[in-house]
Structure formats: C-alpha cells, structure tokens
Structure 1
Amino acid sequence: MQLFFHPDLNDATNEFSFPTDESKHIAKVLRKKTGDILWITNGNGILFEAEITNPNPKKCEGKVISKVTNPPKPYRLHMVVAPTKLNDRFEWFLEKATEIGVHEITPVICDHSERKIIKKERMEKVLQAAMKQSLQTYLPKLNDAISLSEFLKTPTSGELFIAHCEDQIKKELFHSLTPHKNTTILIGPEGDFSSAEIKLALANAYNPIALGETRLRTETAAVVACTTVAMVNLIR
C-alpha cells in the first residue's frame, strides 16, 4: 500500500485534484492510469480510497470511493525540542518521532542553542513523508520556533517533564508516566539547558526525568522519550 497526502480532503469531498508536483509524481513517475486506486490521507485521521479519473501530470484528478476515520490515540504527546546544530539530525528526529507516534512538536530556542532559525517548510515535508511512509493518517503539528522562556508562559495541561544533565534527583521517564495522559517533554540543546532554564521549568511544574544511564545527544534523547511514551501506553 502506498499512501498519499492531500490536506484539503474532508468528509464532504467527492471529487478533487492534486497539485502539480504530486500530479507529476503520480502520472510520470508512478505511471498511474485512469481507474487506478489511490489511498490518501488528509493528515486528520481520515483514510480515503480514491479512483483516478484524469491522470494529467499537471492536474491529476480523482474521485472518492470510500473513506474511514481512524480513531486518535488515547494520549497526546508534545515534544518540545531544541533544534540541533546540524539540520539533518533534527530532521532525523522528526522522521523517527512521526513513525513512533508524536502529536505536536515545538522547536525551542535555549540559552545554549547553536541553531536559532529553522526551515519550517522543509521540516513539514519531512513530517509528511514520514507519515506516508509509516502509513499513518495523523500528521503531527509543527509549531513555530519559540524561546523556552516564552514557551513556559503558554498554558500546558497534562504531565510535564524536562530531561536535563545536571546532577539532581530524577526518576526514569518510564516510571514517571501515567498511561492515556497528555504529556509534554522538554529536550535541550547539545549544551543542555542552562541552570536558569532548568529552575524556570521546575518553577512551572515540570518534573525532572532521566532517559537512561548514558548521556544522549539531543535527537537521540528526543527519540528515546517518544519511544518510552509509546511503550508505556502500549503495555500498561
């Protein structure tokens, strides 16, 4: 099964067309013909079965045959992660987090951040590709980059955690999670959060957690956190 993405499809859609880039891929690269079946998601949980009515490489058209809405997961995971110095490492995190299961991602700029500008459009394409590759129907929400201090001012519900490297009493994330709860996890940059940032997060009800016995790189720590949340909600 190959999955396509079309954000404009909804419950009322009967006929539609793809933009030029996707149309060219369908008609020229995949060589799809009139009558061929496509599976499409809108990124909001709906899986559409559609038939190609006009395989035009500039405007591929189709009609919806059937659709099914997949239920959302019984929890919501928000990863708040400092962008890495190298873009490809952060994109690797985006890809793997989408495959594992994440609902929302906020790039956060910290005192020790080496990268403070992100290419949101490129990152959204990474998320879309990972969603399609892993055959999922929910596209993670990618927020604009924001400073940690500003993020901590935003109302946040559920269980709140911060992973940092300072010597402090910390519980393992696995033993701190409650299944089927909304969860927000802060992951710092290569130089870790500053002491002031850690104090600010703790003052805003974030609980310090550990992700194992070794010191992890930013993107590795973020993927470990995603995996831990998914496992807890699967086995408990």
Structure 2
Amino acid sequence: MLTCFAPDLTPAQTTYQLSEEESKHAVRVLRLAAGDAVALIDGRGGLYTAEIAEANPKRCQLRITHHETVAPRSYFTHVAVAPTKNLDRMEWFVEKAVEVGVERISFLRCARSERRELKLERLEKIAISALKQSGQAWLPQMDELQDFGAFVDGVAPETTFIAHLEEGERTALTQVAGAGPGCCVLIGPEGDFTPQEIALALAKGIRPVTLGASRLRTETAALAAVFTAQIVRA
C-alpha cells in the first residue's frame, strides 16, 4: 500500500488532497485508481487509512476511512552529532536512525568540524522518506547546526553523555543509557572533540561513554548510539 506524508492532516478531517508530487506518484507512476487504498502518516502520531475518491494526477482526492493515534515512545533518544564534510554520510545516518527509531537529532559545530554550515531541507526529506518506509508514526525533531558550547549549556547533564576517544575512564553506553527516561549522546567530528570541549562537557556534569572497542566513523558512531539506546529500552 502506498504511504504518503500528510503533516497538515487532522483527525477531524474526512477527506484529504495529496500534494501535486504525491498525486503524480500515486496516479501516474503507481497507476492507482478510485477505490484503491492509501496509508497516511502525519508525523505526530497519527496513522490513517484512506481510499482514492478522485484519481487526479495533480490533485488526488482521498476519503479517510480509519484513523488511530500511536503514543510516543516512553524512552526518548536524542543524538547530537557534528556533520561530516561529505553530506552523503549524514544523509545515510539520518535515514538509518529514523528507521531504527530516534526522537531528536541535533547538529553540532565543533572546533574540528569540517562542515561549518548545514541546510536541513534535504535531510528532512530523507527523514520523511525513512519514516514512510519504516511505518512509524512520529517524525523526529531535527535541529539547526549549533555551536558546541551553546548546545551543552542547554542539555540536562544527568541524561547526557559524550562519546569521545581521549584517554581516561569511560563507561559503556549500554550500562548507563537506560537509567533515566531517555538519553542524549554527543558524537564529535572525524578528528574527535578537542580536550577543551571534553573538559567543558565534563565540567557541566555530562558523563563520558564508549560505544565499543572499535574506532568508528562519525556517522557510524551516531547510528551505534541510536541502536544502543533502542536495545536498552527494548
């Protein structure tokens, strides 16, 4: 069944019009006709079933036949990552993180960051596509690129962890992530966080963690953090 993203759909509605892009895909590409079923998600917990009332390739009209609301997950996973110079690698991370399950993704501008600017539009489209593919109901929050210092000023230190590669005592994320209602994991750039950034985080009460014995790429480490949180809360 075709799944479409309908961010402006509300439970009170009995009809819905697909966007021109979704209409063209449904009618011209998939050859759907009147009476065929379509699934809709609003990204805010709403799952809808509809049938095509008018198969117009520019303004496909739907009739809503069923609606249910999925409660948000009880455990909140937040990953804050320094985006890589090659944006394809961040796109891969966003796609897989949404498929696995993540509630929030933030982007950090660190001292060693190779990418100093970031446009979210492309990443948001990838997140929506992954949401539809995985059949989930909640679209993760995605935050604009922010300086590391400003970001750590705004987090709750008791549920925030920094995954760095410097020498020193670090606890496995698997041992600490499930202790509270959720977790926020900070993932640095390819050159890692600087000693000054690590010291700043630790001074604010953020605890150091490890994701395992291997030295991981930035996007792999970020996905490992998401996956670890999923296992812990399962």
Q: TM-score of the superposition, structure 2-length normalised? A: 0.96
Residue 70 of structure 1 and its aligned partner are, at CA, apart by: 1.3
Task: Determine if contact 2:76/2:182 at 8 Å carries over to the other structure.
Answer: yes
Task: Report the counterpart of residue 164 of structure 1 in structure 2.
Answer: 164
Alpha-carbon distance in 2 for matches of 1:120, 1:128 = 12
Query: What letter matches 1:34 in structure 2?
Result: A
| Gap regions ≥5 residues in structure 1 | none
**Partner SS, residue 226 of structure 2:** helix
Q: TM-score of the superposition, structure 1-length normalised? A: 0.95
Task: Report the counterpart of residue 5 of structure 1 in structure 2.
Answer: 5
**CA displacement, residues 130-174 of structure 1 (integer Å, 9 cap, x when unaligned):** 111111111111111111111112243751100001001001100
Task: Report the counterpart of residue 147 of structure 1 in structure 2.
Answer: 147
Task: Determine if contact 2:81/2:222 at 8 Å carries over to the other structure.
Answer: yes
Task: Determine if contact 1:77/1:102 at 8 Å carries over to the other structure.
Answer: yes
Alpha-carbon distance in 1 for matches of 2:23, 2:180 = 39
Alpha-carbon distance in 1 for matches of 2:153, 2:22 = 40
Task: Determine if contact 1:74/1:180 at 8 Å carries over to the other structure.
Answer: no
RMSD value over aligned CA atoms? 1.3
**Partner SS, residue 67 of structure 1:** strand
Residue 51 of structure 1 and its aligned partner are, at CA, apart by: 1.2
Identity %: 41
Task: Report the counterpart of residue 110 of structure 2 in structure 1.
Answer: 110
Task: Report the counterpart of residue 225 of structure 1 in structure 2.
Answer: 225
Q: How many residues align?
A: 234
Residue 125 of structure 1 and its aligned partner are, at CA, apart by: 0.4
Residue 108 of structure 1 and its aligned partner are, at CA, apart by: 0.7
**Which runs of structure 2 are paired with 1:161-200 in the superposition (5 Å)?**
161-178=161-178, 181-200=181-200
**Which runs of structure 2 are paired with 1:1-236 in the superposition (5 Å)?**
1-156=1-156, 159-178=159-178, 181-234=181-234
The 3 A distance-change label for structure 1 pair 172 and 204 is same
Alpha-carbon distance in 1 for matches of 2:180, 2:73 = 8
Query: What letter matches 1:24 in structure 2?
Result: K
| Gap regions ≥5 residues in structure 2 | none
Alpha-carbon distance in 2 for matches of 1:157, 1:4 = 38
**Partner SS, residue 67 of structure 2:** strand
